[in-house]
Structure 1
Amino acid sequence: MSAPLAATAWPDVPQGALVLVPLGSTEQHGPHLPLSTDTVIARAVAERAAGLLPGRVLVAPAMPYGASGEHADFPGTVSVGHDVLRVVLVETVRSLASWARRIAFVNGHGGNAETLRTAVVALRHEGHDVGWTGCEVPGGDAHAGVTETSLLLYLWPERVAMERAGPGDLRPLSAIMPQLRAAGVRAVSPTGVLGDPSRASAVQGRSLLGELAVETAGRIGAWDVDDTGRLVR
């Protein structure tokens, strides 16, 4: 059984609970998707995964800011950077650990992964039972393409402007990563899109969300943590 932590009164919070913490971002997602896309997806995946896990699982409020410096050239992007994000993650777990048995971050923004690795490894060395997992779709495009657009068409269709959706840079992420790291997303895609959102649909989004929830629940349920703090299957 899952429950939102923010809607729970303190006497109803079970000692030794499993807590899922969605981690997103506030950053550009092309001209057609809202800035909160990663946060919306991370929250939805965490909520669906929690419902698939046994026992009482609490879903914490989603963290809406992350390390999004690569999107800084686009208006609306808010990035707190790796250093601040690391402190927030560490202090969040230290606080939760006073009553929670286990904490899992469900990450919706790839740019947060570096900070998650350093923070979670340090926390595990402190003795906290914490891990993290991402919302990646195997074979999915990199940013604001068919994958994320399909998910938002299912989760929040009124905030998707499909009339603005068009292909961005279609090269694999590995091919553009050096330029992206050096100069940011705008240097490789003036619209901020990495992929082709024009092929997206709500039907695909519903299927993708189900797959992500099953995969996330499987990783959390197995609780096999690698040397980067990531949950693996």
Structure 2
Amino acid sequence: MRTLAGLTWTELTEPGILAVPLGATEQHGPHLPYTVDTEIAVALCERLARARDDVVVAPAVPYGSSGEHAGFPGTLSLGQEATESLLVELGRSADAFAGLLFVCAHGGNARPLARAVARLRREGRNASAWTPTGPPDDTHAGRVETSVMLALRPSAVRAHRPPGVKTPLPELLDELRESGVRAVSSTGVLGDPSGANAEEGHRILNRWTKSLSETLSSLSSLPQDGTA
């Protein structure tokens, strides 16, 4: 596995595709740490790099657009505009690589990330993004993320895992955007983590890794100028 943290510039003889883990620092209920999204993004990039020698993993971007979680102490957010600018400038600086793949594990980054990738591609860069998917009634600190963290770092998962709101996300979006997560869930959980387990977490990680690898294959086949 190749990582920028483990290489010098003279050892980067075949740059390949740069995988950038994109996370967040935000509340994940009373049972998960603030770093869930970043840890998941890093783990997926590392899995990808172990499977493919043309991938180089960048240090993670541990902050993003998390304003919807501002009602909970400890959440740190750059906001959408700053996140978009950060990703555009990061992408522009990665021209030594054959391609750039943002691996984003935080849904709040979706809009600025999409705009950043679109801008980079308009500028002729071979950029793309991937985000994991899950059920619409389990989108934040619920069974999916709790199971994945039990697979990745079980010591970080608290035993007390109260259920949150299980209303499908599309039905909550308007209120979330207007008033934040705390307005719809006092625990900060969207889903029910009570049945989470490590075995399920490993299965989810395997499924996400397969999807991520397919996205990377599409990126690898694009011309260097980013055109389809």
Indicate the TM-score class for this superposition, using the shorter chain for normalisation. over 0.9
| 2:209 equivalent to 1:213 | yes
TM superposition shift of 1:14: 2.6
- Tell me the residue number matched to 2:10: 11
Q: In the alignment, what sits opposite 2:200?
A: 204
Taking the aligned partners of 1:68 and 1:56, their CA distance within structure 2 comes to 32
Q: What residue identity is the alignment partner of 2:112?
A: T
Measured in 1, the distance between the counterparts of 2:29 and 2:110 equals 21
Conservation of the 8 A alpha-carbon contact between 1:16 and 1:102: no
Find the partner of 1:194 among 190, 198, 222.
190
CA contact (8 A) 1:67 1:81 kept: yes
Which amino acid counterpart does residue 60 of structure 2 have in structure 1?
A: A
Deviations 1:77-127 (A, max 9, x none): 000001111111011111111x11100000000010100111111111111
**1:158-189 deviations in whole A, cap 9, x for unaligned?**
111022x1110011001111111110000000
Contact 1:3/1:59 (CA < 8 Å) preserved in 2? yes
Contact 1:67–1:112 at 8 Å: present in 2 too? Answer: yes
Answer yes or no: is the 8 Å Cα contact 1:71–1:185 preserved in 2.
yes
Structure 2 counterpart of 1:94, one-letter code: R
For 1:125, the equivalent position in structure 2 comes to 122
Q: Is the 8 A contact 2:137 2:166 kept in 1?
A: no
Note if contact 1:47-1:59 (Cα within 8 Å) is conserved in structure 2: yes
Instruction: Classify the secondary structure of the residue corresponding to 1:179.
Output: helix
Q: Distance in 2 between matches of 1:137 and 1:13?
A: 36
Q: Is the 8 A contact 1:15 1:101 kept in 2?
A: no
SS for the counterpart of 2:34 is: coil
Shift of 1:222: 2.1
AA of the residue aligned to 1:9: T
Answer whether contact 2:15 2:56 (CA < 8 A) is retained: no
Shift of 1:135: 1.7
Structure 2 contact 48–55 (Cα < 8 Å) conserved = no
Aligned-residue RMSD, C-alpha:
1.6
- The percent identity for this pair of structures is 45
Say if 1:21 and 1:59, in contact at 8 Å, map to a contact too. yes
SS at 1:50 equivalent: helix
CA contact (8 A) 2:66 2:76 kept: yes
Residue 142, structure 1, aligned to residue 139, structure 2 = yes
1:26-63: per-residue Cα shift (whole Å, max 9, x none)? Answer: 0000000000000000111111122233x421010110
The reply to whether residue 180 of structure 1 matches residue 176 of structure 2 is yes
Tell whether the 8 Å contact from 1:21 to 1:105 is kept in structure 2 after alignment. yes
Give the structure 2 partner of residue 76 of structure 1. 74
Cα shift at 1:137: 3.0
Aligned to 2:102: 105
> Structure 1 unaligned runs (5+)?
none
Opposite residue 145 of structure 2, the aligned amino acid is E
Contact kept? 1:42, 1:135, Cα under 8 Å: no
Where do 5+ consecutive residues of structure 2 fail to align? none
Asked if 2 retains the 8 angstrom alpha-carbon contact of 1:154 and 1:205, the reply is yes
Task: Name the TM-score, length of structure 2 as normaliser.
Answer: 0.93
SS at the partner of 2:98? strand
Q: Distance in 1 between matches of 2:213 and 2:51?
A: 6
Residue in 1 that maps onto 2:55: 57
